[in-house]
Structure 1
Amino acid sequence: MEKSKVVSLEDRIPKLKEQRKKKANRRLIFLLLLFFSLIVLIIYFQSPLSHIKQIKVSGNSIYDKEEIIQISGVTEKTNIWKVDEEGIEGKLKELPEIKSSTVKVQLPGTLNIQVDELKRIAYIAKEKHYLPVMENGSILKDEKVADIPANAPILNGFSEGDILDMMIEELESLPEEVLNSISEIHHSPKKTDSNHITLYMNDGFEVSATLRSFSEKMAHYPSIISQLDPEKKGIIDLEVGSYFKAYETKGAEEVEKENEGEG
Structure 2
Amino acid sequence: MTALHPWSRYVAIGDSFTEGIGDPEPRSAGGHRGWADRVAEVLTRRTDDFAYANLAIRGRLLQQILDEQVEPALALRPDLITISAGGNDIIRPGTDPDDVAERLEGGIARLRRDDATVVLFNGPDIGGTPVLGRIRGKVAIYNENLRAIAQRHDAIIADMWAMRELADSRMWAPDRLHFSPIGHHTIARMVLDALGVEHDLAPFEPEPLPAVSWRQARIDDIVWAREYFGPWILRRLRHQSSGDGILPKRPVPTPLAVGGAEDVE
TM-score past 0.5 threshold: no
Range class of TM-score, shorter chain: under 0.3
Higher relative contact order (CA 8 A, sep 6+): 2
**Superposition TM-score, scaled by structure 1 size:** 0.19
Q: Which of structures 1 and 2 has the bigger CA Rg?
A: 1
**Superposition TM-score, scaled by structure 2 size:** 0.18
The structure richer in strand per residue is 1
The structure richer in helix per residue is 2
